[in-house]
A and B are shown apart, each in its own frame.
Chain A
């Protein structure tokens, strides 16, 4: 019997597994998809919020501010792309100015450091490409940008190095109460565990529903985005928000850690798993974005995507022991990413009611990774001397080498798909969107993992790329 089974390996599950893996426990993570970071974690604004949005006194407020600080430390330890660039909430009329003042007061009450209300002149000096219509802005220097999937992967990888088991393609279909714990049934077999942590994201209410009546219902909400070419990455230098409304934080314009410009999201109710972009959603994003930054160059778009947020009937995050030893981490909508490490700390307290959590004398809580493009010329020369594969650039847009891809493929949590390589190494993330490197990454995956090329998928199950050989060949 496992001590703990974590359901779901998005940013919440990965954080929980990461913390638990430092303790002397038998752990398993059950992920329904074929890789980590496959739900909300991979398709969102990628912002680490400062924490002025949530109402003071809520879990959200406390966990966002704490999570902001913890995320920064994690990114340092795990060498994950992160930049603390600060955020601005723009006010365009009197009502907005009141909102900005309220957010300032919220933030102060929540303990957000360094908040300031800027005058029109100050904000335009900081960001000359903003609309001249701006009147005031709330400046939050602690806001940051991150690569969420990279962080999720780094945390999960460390957990695996610390002995956590990871089972993919394992959606939990049935939960039974057994003596001393729970039995979880998945298509890849059943798992018995003393404690279950439900970190199933948008599906968290359904998973809890397998064992008890959930206290909330997820109301999936879609957000659509534009990702613009790196040539546009300097359009703004902070996360640019508009004043929040009932649907969320509104359309933002922000640089990404990779140097692109992200624009979005809208907010529209959707079915679970519906990540299709729509003409209406994209038009809305375009219309709203130019209100903040009139010169956004949508002609330089390289990708549209949509993510589904776990909005719900609950006003706050749901962090509860639903039944003894069954912990629900649900309704994790924005600022869920920013709060994730702090949510995991709360989860551990709840787990501690059932299990004795004793830290192991030694565990992994860092990561060494060669990112060729970040090296100095001298370091690059040295890297190629040690391993000639670092001298072969596969993804020309993002300068990703074969060495980095091979490293990932022989790591403890290897990708099996083109997009899995993309999330770990950045290959295919750039302006040609894998047009050039896709076939080469395909070949490298098949070669290194000994896979039949036709079994190498693009992304989720069923995303077959090649269907056979030409000339009557057999694969």
Chain B
């Protein structure tokens, strides 16, 4: 049995996951069940960061991955943003990088700037 704290929401449920059957207990929602199973098979994380912005009010644009990416690719994804420059205006949801590091996730803007 693996003991895991769910990070899906601020509640932070204490989950127990059976390594063999991948049965999840202690979750209070379906997202918790999915999280518990993922943590044992292929843990994933959302990534938020910034990219360089030119011509805007500020020098950085906040961005995030459009969906969770494999946990072990976190550093690679963030490093791949080095040197990327976007130009104002940018809108929330604009795709900055498609299929970042082959993860299937896009890097998208999270602020109008």
Contact = CB atoms under 8 A, between A and B. Distances in A.
Nearest to A470: B50
A472 interface: yes
B22 interface: no
B78 to A, nearest CB: 9
Which of A470, A471, A472, A473 has the most chain B CB atoms closer than 10 A to its own CB?
A471
Interface stretch (B24-32, B39-47, B80-88, B102-110): B80-88
B50 A472 contact: no
Contacts of B51: 471
B60 A470 contact: yes
A471 B81 CA distance: 7
Contacts of A473: 52
The main secondary structure of chain A at its interface with chain B is: loop
A471 B50 CA distance: 8
Contacts of A472: 82-83
Nearest to A472: B82
Interface of B: 50-52, 60, 81-84
Interface in A429-475: 470-473
A146 B83 CA distance: 51
A473 B52 CA distance: 8
Contacts of B84: 471
B38 to A, nearest CB: 29
Given A470-B60, A471-B51, A472-B83, 10 more contacts: A470-B50, A471-B50, A471-B52, A471-B60, A471-B81, A471-B82, A471-B83, A471-B84, A472-B82, A473-B52
B86 to A, nearest CB: 11
A321 B81 CA distance: 66
A473 B60 CA distance: 11
Contacts of B82: 471-472
A165 to B, nearest CB: 38
A204 B82 CA distance: 52
A470 B51 CA distance: 9
The 8 A-B pairs with the shortest beta carbon distances in the complex, nearest first, are: A472-B82, A472-B83, A471-B52, A471-B82, A473-B52, A471-B81, A471-B51, A471-B50
A416 B52 CA distance: 27
A237 B65 CA distance: 58
13 contacts: A470-B50, A470-B60, A471-B50, A471-B51, A471-B52, A471-B60, A471-B81, A471-B82, A471-B83, A471-B84, A472-B82, A472-B83, A473-B52
A261 to B, nearest CB: 38
A2 to B, nearest CB: 45
Contacts of A470: 50, 60
A472 B50 CA distance: 11
B36 to A, nearest CB: 34
A473 B81 CA distance: 11
A57 to B, nearest CB: 65
Interface string A5-38: 0000000000000000000000000000000000
A295 to B, nearest CB: 40
Nearest to A473: B52
Most B C-beta atoms less than 10 A away, residue of A470, A472, A473: A470
Nearest to B53: A471
A32 to B, nearest CB: 36
A470 B48 CA distance: 14
A59 B110 CA distance: 69
A176 B7 CA distance: 71
Interface string A95-126: 00000000000000000000000000000000
A470 B81 CA distance: 10
Contacts of B50: 470-471
Nearest to B52: A471
Interface in A278-315: none
A326 to B, nearest CB: 53
Contacts of B81: 471
A471 B83 CA distance: 6
A440 to B, nearest CB: 13
Contacts of B83: 471-472
A470 B82 CA distance: 8
B106 to A, nearest CB: 18
Nearest to B83: A472
A403 B82 CA distance: 36
A471 B62 CA distance: 12
A472 B81 CA distance: 9
Nearest to B78: A471
Interface string A397-423: 000000000000000000000000000
A471 B84 CA distance: 8
Interface string A187-226: 0000000000000000000000000000000000000000
A473 B58 CA distance: 14
